[in-house]
Amino acid sequence: MRSNLWRRQDWGGLVVAIGFAGAAACGTDEPVVSVSGTNGGAGAEAAATNSATAGAAGSSGSEAGAAHGGAAGGSEGGSSTGGATTTATTSSSTGSASPGVVDVTLSFESIRLSGANRAVDFRFVPGHDDELLVLGHAGFLYHYRLEGRNATLLASAEIPNTLQAKGCGALSFALDPEFSENHYVYIGRCVDLVTTTLSRYSLEDFADLGATEVEILKATLSRDRDEWHRFGSMGFESDGETLWVLLGDMFYPQYAQDTTKKNGKLLRIVPSREPDEGGYTVARGNAFEPGGEADPDIYAYGIRSPWRGARDKYGRFWIGDVGDVTREEVNLATEPGQNFGWQDHEGPCEENCEGIRDPVLHYGRSEGKAVWVGELYENVGSDRYHGWFTDNLFYGDFYGEWIRAVEVNEHGSVLDNRVVGTLGEVTQWRVGPDGYMYALTLPSYLYRALPKVVYAEP
């Protein structure tokens, strides 16, 4: 399908979709909230002061979530139901909440993205509140216009040479900071079982997307191990030139601690933006200087399967790391060189912990098997949630179906962490230009998060 909207710069939004489906029963394992910090220093586990219950409705399909978790367990091609009781630290930190409001939680209204297949990531196009792009796992990019609860497909284009196999496929993307002028989009995808690339494309003419590929970064294996743990979330920093990207261990767990390898790392690079010129230069402020033995593109390491993460306005990186056997992790990278422990540790470190940074949040794999991290909510002048969620980050689990809002202080200590809604099969969570939060799900629905407000009795 062809779109001429790009030529008049009629951009609205960007959505990328990656597909996986399946089901996994939720149990009653309680997530633990812990103070973030490097072992060997001060730190104490946060006290649990309230509890909330999140219902876990069933998911259906095959290969769900395992695309990012590897040995995720759970059942294929079936459904499961159950309940999960969660305990969290709270401090009722609501900042500039509206007077008289005593609680805000979320409900969701659905918008069907007809024509999209296995949606995994999305972004709104700068300058247009009513349009977005959606990426499909099999290697398709879709362009939609939103009108209330309806979405109209305006165009679609194939991304050639995309291998869709379990955790492989088109996985995530970012828009260039000067997108309105250059129409550049950066997409991470599997080319084959041993090659994963981050490439730049031009959307000047939507129909010609595939022909405009310029390779920026390539991760290769000497031989294939499995189709898991490839490129995860990515985005540009506020300097307008530095691109951060999460890369899993590509099923070579020993590489996560090897600082000569890119596998299992948070990377920062400056991609080429010259027409027909690929590659990148080293970004300033990484963990290692160029010319040494260690890879200068590494910012943080010791990561397993970081399929969803975010960078907040304070320059911190939130990393949702899918577990192997015992724990799902939410890590917070606050400075270069931090080591989150994989493959030596899963969840909080218990021995030989010098230099290991524990997760800010973690929970057992009976509570979920594919953690995701969304964006920090900022009040940009159109707050839809009565000030209740300002500076809260949202996270959840593809299988667990619960949505939580977490707030931390400048030291990374958790101030508030509570269940605020239920939604399953989430593949991406972003803040829209209209002030609403939006969730994308694998069955290709976009959900607008609406406030459920409780007011004080008069």
How many domains, the chain?
Answer: 1
Q: Tokens 């991304």 — which residue?
A: 159
Q: Which residue has the higher pLDDT, 25 or 97?
A: 97
Do 46 and 89 form a contact (C-beta atoms < 8 A)?
yes
For residue 138, the model assigns a pLDDT of 93
Give the CATH number for residue 236. 2.120.10.30
pTM assigned to the model:
0.82
Average pLDDT score, the chain: 82
Confidence bin at 229 (pLDDT 50/70/90): low
Residues contacting residue 235 through CB under 8 Å, at least 6 positions apart: 174, 243, 244, 310, 311
**Is the per-residue pLDDT at 85 higher than 90?**
no
Residues 335-365 have pLDDT tens digits of 999 999 999 999 999 999 999 999 999 999 9
Do 236 and 126 form a contact (C-beta atoms < 8 A)?
no
Span 253-268, mean pLDDT?
Answer: 96
Asked which of 46-50, 126-130, 243-247 is least confident by mean pLDDT, the reply is 46-50
For residue 223, the model assigns a pLDDT of 73
Confidence bin at 437 (pLDDT 50/70/90): very high
Residues 155-178 have pLDDT tens digits of 999 999 998 877 789 999 999 999
The dihedral sign for the CA sequence 193, 281, 264, 440: negative
Residues contacting residue 392 through CB under 8 Å, at least 6 positions apart: 376, 377, 405, 406, 407, 416
Q: Which residue has the higher pLDDT, 22 or 224?
A: 224
Residues 87-137 have pLDDT tens digits of 333 334 445 678 899 999 999 999 999 999 999 999 999 888 899 999 999
Residue 396 tokens read as 């959840």
Residues 449-458 have pLDDT tens digits of 999 999 998 8
Specify burial of residue 43 (Cβ count, 10 A radius: 0-12, 13-18, 19+): middle
For residue 240, the model assigns a pLDDT of 97
Length of the chain: 458
**Is the per-residue pLDDT at 48 higher than 60?**
no
Domain that holds residue 431: 5-455
Do 124 and 145 form a contact (C-beta atoms < 8 A)?
no
CA distances from 446 to 26, 111, 119, 291 (A): 24, 5, 9, 45
**Is the per-residue pLDDT at 53 higher than 80?**
no
Confidence bin at 228 (pLDDT 50/70/90): low
Helix and strand element counts for the chain (H, E): 2, 30
Residues 378-432 have pLDDT tens digits of 877 789 999 999 999 999 999 999 999 999 988 889 999 999 999 999 999 999 9
